[in-house]
Amino acid sequence: MNLLLEIVAVGLSLTFLILLIKENIYCWFFGITGSLVSIFLFYRIGLYAESILYCYYVLIGFYGYRLWNSKGNTQELPIIDVLPKRHLSYIFLGVITALFLGYVLSNYTEASNPYLDAFTTIFSFIASYLEAKKILSGWYYWIIVNGVTLGLYLNKELYIYFILTLLYFALSFYGLREWKRKIKLLA
C-alpha cells in the first residue's frame, strides 16, 4: 500500500515541479493532488512534520493558483527577487521555528528524526511561499532543503521519494537557471 501511494504521489509531484518551472498555472492542480496523497503516506509512517508540511502544500497550492491567476490572462505574475536583508529574517525565523518544532516533536511525539524533519518542514514552508510569489531566490532554499531531505528519506527507506527528491534537487538548479534566464530576457 505504501509503495503504491508513494508512486502516485511522486508522479503527481514531479509533474507539479516541471510545470512550475515552465510557469504553467496547472502546476498547482498536480501539487495539491500529490500533496493530499503524501499527507496520508507520511502520517502512516510517522513523519508527522512532513504530514504537516504537505497540509501546508495543499494550502499554498490554492494560494499559488489564486495568486498566479489574479492578474487575469493578459498579465503574468513576474519573477522577482528580494533583498538579502529579507532573507536574513526568513533564515532567522526558520531556524528558531525549526528548533521549537523539533523540540515539540522530540518530546511529545514518537517522531523519528524530529529535528531534521522540523528543519526540512519549516524551510520548505519558506521556499513554497517564495515559489508561489515567484521569488527567484526560493530556488536556493529548495536546493538546500532537497539536499537535506535526501538523507531523511534514505534513512526512512522511502526510496521512491528519495529518487523524487534527487530529481527535485537537480530540477531546482534547472529552475533557478530558467527563472534567471527569464529575468534577463525581460530586463
pLDDT of residue 12: 96
CA distance 17 to 27: 7
Query: Quick one: average pLDDT of 10-25?
Result: 94
- The single residue listed with the C-alpha cell 512550475 is 20
pLDDT of residue 77: 84
* Residue 171 clears pLDDT 70, i.e. is over it: yes
Q: What is the average pLDDT score of the chain?
A: 92
Closest CA to 32 of 52, 57, 67, 53: 57
Percent over 70 (pLDDT), the chain: 97
* Residue count (the chain): 187
Alpha helices in the chain (DSSP H): 2-21, 27-45, 48-69, 84-108, 114-132, 138-155, 159-186
Percent over 90 (pLDDT), the chain: 73
Cα 155 from chain centre: 19
Query: Quick one: average pLDDT of 34-43?
Result: 94
3-state helix, strand, coil in the chain (%, to 5): 80, 0, 20
Question: Are 139 and 179 spatial neighbours (Cβ–Cβ below 8 Å)?
Answer: yes
The set of cell numbers assigned to 30 is 498536480
pLDDT of residue 75: 66
pLDDT of residue 18: 94
The set of cell numbers assigned to 141 is 532554499
- The single residue listed with the C-alpha cell 509533474 is 15
